[in-house]
A and B are shown apart, each in its own frame.
Chain A
Amino acid sequence: MTFAERMLRIDRRIIFLVIGLCTLIPLLYPVGLAIKISPEVRSVYDYIESLPEGSVFLLSLDFDPASKPELYPQAVALLHHAFKKNLRVIGMTLWLPGTGMASEVVTRVARVEGKVNGKDFVFLGWSPGGSSVIINMGQDLYKAFPTDYNNQPTKDLDVLKDVQSLRDVTYVISLAAGSTGIETWYVFGKDKYKFELGGGCTGVIAPGLYPLLRSGQINGLIGGLRGAAEYEVLIGKKGRAVAGMDAQSATHFAIILLVILCNTFYLLIRTPRDKAAPGQH
């Protein structure tokens, strides 16, 4: 057996170990590689920067704990930015399993920024229906959410003063881990009720959302952990996303190297017969 053949039959647990070490070592000993800001992330930042104080900002945390490593840092960064700008923040979720986590992140960041529940922000919680919830909110926000997550009547809240429906919301951002998220907010929300829409998403669904970005259906897109890191750099509050970028770069480098090595070994072991009849395996 040649060296190339031995390498192609290597125990996959060795590859797991290499990837694990490439992730762990940069987390323990960060290098601080530079993070370049992409135009799609800057668009979201610039739009929030341009909003006057007291504008209504709705953050829909449409993800569950399985997507926490990517979307939670995005939520933290966006909430810090919105509270710093003194926007009126409405939090909610279209994903039932993420309700507790969404409530925790909104409340925690608000506490850090010294904001008061009901006056500066509200967390509406979850309501069943997905797209129907958005349509319902577009007609009457108080019918869709008669009470907030803490069972307080929404009609009495200062933060929702002069807000009757989605038409009174200035900017909506959906942090999405799947199909009930940015696309739903566009199709059933922005297209009909004419608010500005931005998005944050997991890396897996990001390529599918770029057509919406290009056509102007969303005004910005924060993609995955990298997008969160860019946003943390923009607001000058480096957190978990920035801390993870060295590990991200190291693992990507390792995977690229492994792909090149595997292909090289594969080409080396190809017999003349294989070359004559490719694709017969």
Chain B
Amino acid sequence: MSFEMIFGAWVAAGLTLFILTFLYQDNPLFKLAEHLYVGVSVGYAIVKTYDTVVIRLIYEPMVTQGDWSLLIPLAIGALMLTRYVPKAAWMSRIAFAFVVGIGSGLAIPRVISSYILKQIEDTVRPLVSLAADGGATFTYDLLNPASNLNAIVLLIGVVSVLFYFFFSIEHTGPGRAVARTGIIFLMIAFGAAFGYTVMARMSLLIGRLTDLIDYAKPQYGWATYWLAALTIATLIALRWRHKETEPPA
């Protein structure tokens, strides 16, 4: 195994353990890892953006291929930097207006079509399906997305949740029952979202622990064991030092 792989494993195992120490309490090891993460992420983003945008998409086409039309977007983009010069800051509005105008023009029709019209089309499904021979079918199967029973559940859910958020009339009498039904549907949706979130967070923990188990192997120089020992020793030392510097009660 190459030196880079082993070094990478030690760095990854160390930073993972440092981050996990936050579960015990806030401490300098956690802060070190946190600041490194932020710094490296920003540094990486700056370097990649410079390489991709400035060099590959602007400098090379202009200088090597003579595509000087790129000066137009470059000039519009450069106007954003005028925000740092108070007297010329108004010029940045031209660039922002360009970005907002293009963005809205592109997004509004597409988003209305994809999120609103298409979803309404899917929600308003016929409760009775017509079979190929002309007869009517009515299937009851909650596990089948095309079932009519699902269409009824969907209809009740959408109507009751929309009614729950309709505040112009008081939720009393039959309205209270509908709003309550809406709350039940909302709670089910929140429960599903929470369940998926738990699964996602546990997956992240599984990912880190799997790596720590891998890095505990001899080919990585037992990185996890050594670094775990170092982390625990540092936490004990920090605790001991904190106790010594603590003023007497």
Main SS of the interface on chain B? helix
CA distance A135 to B102 in the complex (A): 12
**Chain A proximity mask over B111-140: 1 for CB below 8 Å, otherwise 0:** 101110011011000000000000000000
Choose one: B24, B110, B203, B204; the contact of A13 (CB below 8 Å). B24
Nearest B-chain residue to A204, judged by Cβ: B200
B196 touches A207 (CB 8 A): yes
- Are A69 and B23 closer than 8 Å at their CB atoms? no
With known contacts A126-B52, A215-B119, A23–B114 Cβ distance under 8 A: no
A217 touching B114, Cβ below 8 Å: yes
In contact, B122 and A214 (Cβ under 8 angstroms) = yes
Whole-angstrom CA separation of A215 from B117 in the bound complex: 11
- Size range of the chain B interface in the assembly: 35 or more
CB distance from B161 to the nearest CB of A (A): 13
Beta-carbon nearest neighbor of A177 in chain B: B200
A244 and B203 in contact (CB under 8 A), knowing A96-B49, A191-B114? yes
Q: Which residues of B contact A32 (CB under 8 A)?
A: none
Shortest beta-carbon distance from B116 to chain A in Å: 11
Would B209 and A27 count as touching, CB distance under 8 A?
yes
CA distance A224 to B199 in the complex (A): 8
Near B by CB (< 8 A), chain A positions 1-38 give 13, 16, 19-20, 23-24, 27-28
Given contacts A207-B193, A223-B196, A224-B203, contact A191 B210 (CB under 8 A): no
Residues of A within 8 A of B45 (CB): 96-97
Greatest chain A CB density within 10 A among B23, B106, B200 is at B200
A131 within 8 A of B: yes
Q: In the complex, are the beta carbons of A96 and B203 less than 8 A apart? A: no
Neighbour of B106 across the interface among A135, A215, A217, A223, CB < 8 A: A135
B interface residues (Cβ-Cβ under 8 A, vs A):
23-24, 41, 44-45, 48-49, 52-53, 56-57, 61, 106-107, 110-111, 113-115, 118-119, 121-122, 145, 189, 192-193, 196-200, 202-210, 213
Interface CB pairs A-B, < 8 A, 8? A20-B209, A27-B210, A191-B114, A214-B122, A224-B199, A225-B199, A248-B203, A252-B198
